[in-house]
């Protein structure tokens, strides 16, 4: 299903379109899961129009929490919720099976936790994020700092080059107080097996492959409108 021609829209406008389109997956009375990033920011802004109809949101980052609260949307602790009907989040890459790479915004650990609470993951993205095979985008991996060297060497054995993510001249520190490696040069043809394997390496907090927590729906902003993909 597509909405009318949007060929002249910018990437930012496409993000606004998919952010607004995601409102139809929000059920009145429910607590919803909210991701992180520029596309989700559009969703949060749209969600403000429904704030009196929902029971609240579980957030995946400090940044999203601040935005939700600023708009008057109640934010709940994930430990006070046993399940969520839906989790809405962006992606750095998504393939035709709903498998994703995430973590460009460094929020991958909390994103995976909140996604795991939800019955359904609705990914919102512009069409630049749709890929045949995951791995073009440098794979984010949240790590315990003392394991950086060994994990870098393990990725090198898989053909990947890991770089410590920096911010303002120092290693970026996540909301969880850890560091991020960005790994280039990987071709992730079996995302389920890859996620399972890398998640077990000592010192890996979270790998940015979302295969076990894949999307069930993707709302993709395209030149032809918002395309709904179901997996
Ligand atoms: C943050 C993420 C984001 O979902 C991902 O980086 C996409 O962000 P954007 O919507 O800004 O392109 O995983 O950790």
114 CB less than 6 Å from ligand 1? Answer: no
| Residue-wise DSSP of 17-63 | HHHHHGGGGPPTT-EEEE--SHHHHHHHHHHGGGTTTS-EEEESSHH
- Both 103 and 87 in one domain: the answer is yes
Whether the pLDDT of residue 127 is over 60: the answer is yes
The helix/strand/coil state of 224 is: coil
pLDDT at 67: 98
- Both 203 and 218 in one domain: the answer is no
The predicted model gives 129-157 an average pLDDT of 98
39 CB less than 6 Å from ligand 1? Answer: yes
The position carrying tokens 């993000």 is 15
The predicted model gives 64-86 an average pLDDT of 97
The helix/strand/coil state of 9 is: coil
CATH of the domain at 160: 3.30.70.260
- Both 192 and 216 in one domain: the answer is no
Task: Looking at 158-221, list the stretches that DSSP marks H as alpha helix, in order from N- to C-terminal side.
Answer: 191-199
| pTM, rounded to two decimals | 0.95
- Both 15 and 111 in one domain: the answer is yes
Q: Which atom of ligand 1 is found nearest the CA of 125?
A: 10
Whether the pLDDT of residue 88 is over 80: the answer is yes
195 CB less than 6 Å from ligand 1? Answer: no
- Both 12 and 84 in one domain: the answer is yes
Query: What percentage of residues in the chain have a pLDDT greater than 70?
Result: 97
Asked about 111 being catalytic, the answer comes back as yes
- Both 107 and 195 in one domain: the answer is no
d(CA 184, CA 164): 11
The pLDDT mean for the chain works out to: 96
pLDDT bin (cut points 50, 70, 90) of residue 5 is low
Catalytically annotated residue among 13, 30, 93, 111: 111
d(CA 5, CA 164): 41
The closest of 55, 184, 6, 33 to 118, measured between CA atoms, is 33
Whether the pLDDT of residue 220 is over 70: the answer is yes
Largest Cα separation within the chain, whole Å, is: 52
- Both 13 and 116 in one domain: the answer is yes
Determine how many CB atoms are found less than 10 A away from the CB of residue 118: 22
Taking only the tens place, the pLDDT of each residue in 162-207 is: 999 999 999 999 999 999 999 999 999 999 999 999 999 999 999 9
Determine the structural domain holding residue 218 and report its residue range: 4-131+212-230
Q: Which atom of ligand 1 is found nearest the CA of 39?
A: 10
103 CB less than 6 Å from ligand 1? Answer: yes
The predicted model gives 131-152 an average pLDDT of 98
pLDDT at 8: 82
- Both 167 and 83 in one domain: the answer is no
- Using CA positions, which residue lies closest to atom 1 of ligand 1? 105
d(CA 175, CA 143): 12
Is 220:18 a contact under the CB 8 Å cutoff? yes
**Terminal alpha carbon distance of the chain:** 15
36 CB less than 6 Å from ligand 1? Answer: yes
- Both 145 and 89 in one domain: the answer is no
The position carrying tokens 């609470």 is 117
Taking CA 72 as the corner, what is the angle to CA 79 and CA 172, rounded to the nearest 5 degrees? 60
Whether the pLDDT of residue 134 is over 80: the answer is yes
pLDDT at 149: 98
């Amino acid at each position: 299903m597509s909405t009318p021609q949007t060929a002249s829209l910018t990437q930012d406008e496409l993000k606004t379109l998919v952010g607004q389109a995601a409102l139809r997956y929000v059920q009145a009375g429910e607590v919803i899961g909210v991701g992180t990033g520029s596309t989700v920011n559009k969703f949060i802004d749209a969600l403000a129009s429904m704030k009196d109809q929902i029971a609240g949101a579980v957030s995946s980052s400090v940044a999203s929490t601040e935005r939700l609260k600023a708009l008057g949307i109640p934010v709940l602790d994930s430990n006070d919720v046993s399940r969520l009907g839906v989790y809405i989040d962006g992606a750095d890459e998504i393939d035709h099976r709903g498998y994703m790479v995430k973590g460009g915004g460094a929020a991958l650990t909390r994103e995976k936790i909140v996604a795991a609470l939800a019955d359904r993951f609705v990914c919102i993205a512009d069409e630049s994020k749709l890929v045949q095979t995951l791995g073009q985008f440098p794979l984010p991996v949240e790590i315990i700092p003392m394991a950086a060297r060994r994990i870098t060497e393990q990725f090198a054995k898989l053909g990947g080059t890991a770089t410590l993510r920096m911010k303002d001249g120092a290693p970026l520190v996540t909301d969880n107080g850890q560091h991020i490696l960005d790994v280039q040069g990987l071709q992730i043809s079996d995302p389920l097996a890859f996620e399972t394997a890398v998640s077990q390496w000592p010192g890996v907090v979270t790998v940015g492959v979302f295969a076990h927590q894949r999307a069930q729906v993707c709302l993709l902003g395209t030149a032809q409108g918002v395309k709904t993909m179901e997996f």
